[in-house]
């Protein structure tokens, strides 16, 4: 009981460690996300606020451009009326008394009931642009100023505060007959109209408009904001700290009108920033808590499944082989379900194994007995052949004795259970077979060997060379021909062992040759052990050494056949150099 409690405690300790590690990882990831998202949200809101302020700056620039365009358009109409140009020229070149007399004379000569004079033309400016408070004409020669006021309250304020702080646009006036300037027209604009024009529902920060000398002409902030002395700041907002508060500002120069448009955004006015950042942080913390809680319940469910698996294993450990894990409580698609299913199948297989162990043991003993009998039979055959050979030698039948010796050597090699042999052993087996064939076909068969002796200790699959010679004796040898020749070459090309067996026998027709090559290209290996022909050798070599190696055949009918067998050398050259057999 004490050991079980310790194991249960250890199990829960592992579960708690996994849960703690999982929670720490989740909290670290969530903390990193909080930092990254908070920074992203802050940067995004700052960018959006600056974009909104930039649109206000653009609206201010567009407003002033439209005012100047309207002023220039209306002023161009002046030169379509020569009498108006003449009237203005008289006013600007003479004193007011002379101009008054001129106006009276012109009025008496006027035939229309609609007055056509400078006053009516100036009122046309106001009708075309309601933002104009007043217009003044100033003479270059006499410095005489004629004022045409449309909004007296605003005009009085301008006079009280000083014209230097008024929003004005000035255009030159020519005498009509030449390009000589005789004076200038100055339009005074309402600051309230400008404030309404740049106001929007998405106002962020404030605007200021300055002259080139720094005179403040307009601001929608109660108290003016002093900026560093600099010209156009470019398209990017700059950052500055003033009185402990951070400001973002942008200065845009209007060289045509001698103005500077300034947009300023205090960081404190980005009101949504703090609340959204805090909301984002709270949301991520809530997600972290929910994730940890879900992980806890999921892990607890897996822990209970592990407990059931462990309980079944403990029963088996105590000797109860009938114990099984209830698969209805396991998810068969996950790893724990797979473990439980494999555990149950293992117990089923173990039970079947125990039930059949006695029968299997009897079969094993029977197989061992047969193996002993199989080992006795070859020894009996070797002894019998040796007795026959010795009797043939004693009686003087040397040829029969030699053939018996060759046959015994061949059978001894054939009955060996080794899978591979040295190249020297395989070559000696082939020589024994060909010596037997030379005894049979005396004076009709010649066998030539061209062997690199340094290769004799290299390993090769058994029955790889002798079947090639036997294939010649069965299919290519011509008994009625006296000059049958078989040439066996064993050489090394780089790191490849190359065996070439060529003859001057029957050869084969091209159709038969293509059929054999197709047989060699087949990828069926099931029955290669039932034959020791060419296909058997080729398949065994490819299975052992890989696809590049094996047999290749060239043959011409009535001229002979050449069979080439290749495999990789298994010993390095350095090993060969050190071997006494090389």
- Sign of dihedral through CA atoms 266, 268, 270, 273? positive
For all residues of the chain together, what is the average pLDDT?
78
pLDDT given for residue 561 in this prediction? 95
- CA–CA dist 189, 191 (Å, integer): 6
244 dihedral zone (left: phi>0; alpha: psi -120 to 50; beta): left
pLDDT given for residue 232 in this prediction? 59
What residues contact 457, with CB distance under 8 A and at least 6 apart?
422, 423, 424, 571, 576, 579, 581, 582
- Convert the pLDDT of each residue in 218-273 to its tens digit: 888 777 777 766 555 667 888 888 888 888 888 888 888 888 888 888 887 776 55
Q: What number of other Cβ atoms are within 10 A of residue 136's Cβ? A: 19
- Sign of dihedral through CA atoms 370, 372, 375, 381? negative
- Convert the pLDDT of each residue in 543-565 to its tens digit: 888 888 999 999 999 999 999 99
- CA–CA dist 33, 11 (Å, integer): 33
pLDDT given for residue 454 in this prediction? 93
pLDDT given for residue 309 in this prediction? 78
The pLDDT of 94-122, averaged and rounded, is 70
pLDDT given for residue 380 in this prediction? 46
Whose tokens are 């009998």? That residue is 373
Main-chain dihedrals φ then ψ at residue 190, nearest 5 degrees? -75, 130
pLDDT given for residue 476 in this prediction? 92
C-alpha triplet 176, 181, 182: angle, nearest 5°: 85
Main-chain dihedrals φ then ψ at residue 69, nearest 5 degrees? -65, -40
Question: Radius of gyration (Cα) for the chain, nearest Å?
Answer: 57
- Convert the pLDDT of each residue in 353-368 to its tens digit: 776 675 566 566 555 5
- CA–CA dist 190, 129 (Å, integer): 11
The pTM of the full predicted model, rounded to 2 decimals, is: 0.45
Q: What number of other Cβ atoms are within 10 A of residue 294's Cβ? A: 10
pLDDT given for residue 365 in this prediction? 57
pLDDT given for residue 100 in this prediction? 80
**DSSP state string for 456-485:** TTSEEESSSSHHHHHHIIIII--TT-S-EE
Whose tokens are 């006494």? That residue is 580
pLDDT given for residue 197 in this prediction? 83
Tokens coding 49? 């606020």
- Convert the pLDDT of each residue in 109-157 to its tens digit: 655 444 456 777 888 888 888 889 999 989 888 888 888 888 888 888 8
Query: Among the residues of 77-177, which ranges form H helices?
Result: 82-93, 96-109, 118-128, 152-161
In terms of DSSP bridges, do strands 484-493 and 445-451 run parallel, antiparallel, or are they unpaired? parallel
- CA–CA dist 335, 314 (Å, integer): 20
pLDDT given for residue 399 in this prediction? 66
- CA–CA dist 108, 486 (Å, integer): 146
pLDDT given for residue 451 in this prediction? 95
Tokens coding 500? 């070439």
In terms of DSSP bridges, do strands 216-219 and 238-242 run parallel, antiparallel, or are they unpaired? unpaired
- Convert the pLDDT of each residue in 34-56 to its tens digit: 778 777 777 777 888 888 888 88
pLDDT given for residue 554 in this prediction? 95
Q: Is 494 exposed, middle or buried (0-12, 13-18, 19+ CB in 10 A)?
A: exposed
- Convert the pLDDT of each residue in 441-477 to its tens digit: 888 899 999 999 999 999 998 888 988 998 998 899 9
The pLDDT of 190-214, averaged and rounded, is 81
- CA–CA dist 14, 10 (Å, integer): 6
Most confident of 3-7, 13-17, 55-59: 55-59
pLDDT given for residue 520 in this prediction? 85
Main-chain dihedrals φ then ψ at residue 75, nearest 5 degrees? -70, -30
pLDDT given for residue 263 in this prediction? 87
pLDDT at 185 > cutoff 70: yes
C-alpha triplet 247, 252, 253: angle, nearest 5°: 140
Cα dist from 174 to 23, 93, 117, 139, 355, whole Å: 84, 12, 17, 11, 125
- CA–CA dist 303, 295 (Å, integer): 12
pLDDT at 1 > cutoff 50: no
pLDDT given for residue 120 in this prediction? 79
- Which tops the pLDDT comparison, 37 or 211? 211
- CA–CA dist 562, 489 (Å, integer): 11
Q: What number of other Cβ atoms are within 10 A of residue 498's Cβ? A: 16
- Convert the pLDDT of each residue in 495-542 to its tens digit: 899 999 999 999 999 999 999 988 888 765 444 443 347 888 888 888
pLDDT given for residue 46 in this prediction? 80
pLDDT given for residue 201 in this prediction? 56
- Sign of dihedral through CA atoms 439, 441, 445, 447? negative
């Amino acid at each position: 009981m004490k050991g079980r409690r310790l194991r249960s405690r250890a199990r829960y300790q592992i579960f708690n460690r996994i849960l703690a590690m999982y929670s720490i990882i989740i909290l670290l990831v969530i903390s990193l996300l909080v930092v990254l998202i908070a920074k992203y949200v802050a940067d995004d809101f700052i960018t959006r606020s600056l974009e909104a302020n930039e649109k206000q700056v653009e609206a201010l620039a567009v407003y002033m451009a439209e005012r100047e365009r309207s002023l220039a358009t209306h002023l161009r109409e002046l030169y379509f009326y020569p009498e108006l140009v003449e009237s203005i020229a008289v006013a600007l070149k003479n004193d007011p008394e002379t101009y008054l007399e001129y106006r009276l004379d012109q009025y008496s000569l006027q035939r229309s009931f609609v007055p056509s004079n400078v006053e009516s033309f100036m009122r046309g400016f106001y009708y075309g642009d309601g933002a104009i408070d007043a217009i003044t004409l100033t003479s270059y020669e006499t410095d005489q100023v004629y004022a045409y006021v449309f909004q007296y309250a605003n005009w009085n304020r301008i006079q009280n505060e000083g014209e230097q702080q008024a929003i004005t646009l000035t255009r030159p006036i020519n005498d009509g007959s030449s390009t000589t300037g005789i004076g200038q027209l100055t339009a005074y604009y309402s600051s309230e109209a400008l404030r309404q024009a740049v106001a929007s529902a998405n106002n962020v920060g404030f605007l200021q408009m300055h002259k080139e000398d720094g005179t403040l002409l307009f601001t929608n902030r109660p108290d003016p904001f002093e900026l560093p002395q600099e010209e156009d700041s470019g398209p990017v907002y700059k950052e500055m700290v003033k009185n402990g508060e951070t400001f973002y500002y942008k200065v845009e120069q209007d060289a045509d009108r001698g103005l500077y448009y300034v947009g300023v955004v205090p960081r404190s006015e980005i009101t949504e920033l703090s609340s959204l950042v805090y909301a984002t942080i709270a949301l991520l913390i809530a997600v972290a808590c929910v994730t940890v809680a879900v992980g806890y319940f999921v892990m607890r469910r897996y822990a209970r499944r592990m407990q059931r698996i462990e309980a079944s294993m403990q029963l088996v450990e105590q000797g109860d082989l009938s114990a099984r894990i209830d698969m209805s409580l396991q998810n068969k698609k996950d790893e724990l379900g797979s473990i439980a299913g494999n555990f149950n199948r293992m117990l089923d297989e173990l039970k079947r194994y125990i039930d059949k162990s006695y029968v299997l043991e009897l079969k094993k003993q029977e197989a061992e007995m047969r193996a002993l009998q199989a080992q006795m039979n070859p020894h009996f055959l070797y002894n019998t052949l040796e007795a026959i050979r010795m009797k043939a030698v004693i009686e003087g039948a040397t040829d029969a004795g030699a053939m018996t010796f060759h046959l015994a050597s061949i059978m001894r090699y054939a009955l060996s259970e080794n899978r591979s042999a040295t190249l020297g052993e395989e070559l000696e087996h082939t020589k024994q077979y060909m010596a037997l064939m030379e005894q049979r076909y005396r004076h009709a068969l010649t066998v030539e060997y061209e062997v690199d002796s340094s290769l004799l200790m290299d390993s090769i699959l058994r029955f790889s060379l002798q079947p090639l010679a036997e294939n010649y004796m069965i299919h290519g040898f011509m008994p009625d021909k006296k000059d049958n020749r078989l040439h066996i070459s064993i050489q090394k090309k780089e790191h490849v062992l190359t065996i070439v067996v060529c003859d001057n026998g029957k050869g084969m027709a091209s159709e038969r040759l293509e059929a054999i090559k197709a047989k060699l290209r087949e990828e069926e290996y099931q029955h290669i052990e039932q034959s020791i022909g060419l296909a058997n050798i080729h398949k065994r070599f490819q299975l052992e050494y890989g696809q590049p190696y094996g047999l290749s055949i060239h043959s011409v009918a009535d001229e002979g056949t050449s069979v080439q067998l290749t495999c990789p050398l298994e010993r390095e050259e350095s090993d060969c150099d050190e071997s006494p057999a090389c």
